[in-house]
Amino acid sequence: MDKRGEKGRQKIEMKLIEYRTVAFSKRKNGLGKKAKEYSNLTGEDVGFILFKQAGKQHSYVSPCIEKVIDKFHELKKNDSLQNHTDMSKTNVFEAFEDLRKEVQAFKEKCLDSKMSIDKHTLENRLKKFEAYKSRLDKIKKEIKGDVPGEQFKFISEVALDLEEMSS
């Protein structure tokens, strides 16, 4: 095969075209061919509308323009619904975050009340231990002379243990 100095397909620089009338009709035909080819290959509905500066319109649609326009409007409607859904999702996430914070505050409140219950219980126990200690001290004074040394030592140790537990 002989190549006769062909440059092949080259990238066209985007710039203002001087001969717009010729360029419009060439590009319109090329665009129509590509749209038809795309429609045949993929089985999709394709449509485009071109407006000349003079106000004249040219269009290509496969199979009919009403069907393509209806699909376009349906997609636009679905996009707006999707955006609304996304916004409601963010609202749901915000509501979830608020609810999570509320639950955390409730847990802390329950923990505080449980601690106060525990504190109250501990105070009651302390009072009981102090009562036991005072009774033991009273018994110690009453029997100090009657009890042998070992038993006295034992009672004193019990009293000290109770004292340490109450501290």
pLDDT tens digits along 24-50: 777 888 888 888 888 888 888 888 888
- Domain membership of residue 4 (yes or no) is no
Residue 55 structural domain? 14-63
Residue with tokens 């323009």: 65
The number of domains in the chain is 1
- Domain membership of residue 122 (yes or no) is no
The DSSP H or E segment spanning 60 is strand 57-62
- Domain membership of residue 128 (yes or no) is no
* pLDDT of residue 1 exceeding 70: no
pLDDT score for 83: 62
Q: Where does the chain have alpha helices with state H?
A: 20-42, 65-143, 149-166
pLDDT score for 88: 58
- The pair phi, psi for residue 45, each rounded to 5°, is -85, 130
- Domain membership of residue 121 (yes or no) is no
Distance separating alpha carbons of residues 63 and 44, to the nearest angstrom: 9
Helix axes 149-166, 65-143, angle to 10 degrees: 150
Question: What is the pTM for the complete model shown?
Answer: 0.35
Give the CATH number for residue 48.
3.40.1810.10
- Domain membership of residue 57 (yes or no) is yes
pLDDT tens digits along 107-165: 787 777 766 667 777 777 778 878 777 777 777 676 666 555 555 566 666 666 666 66
- Domain membership of residue 31 (yes or no) is yes
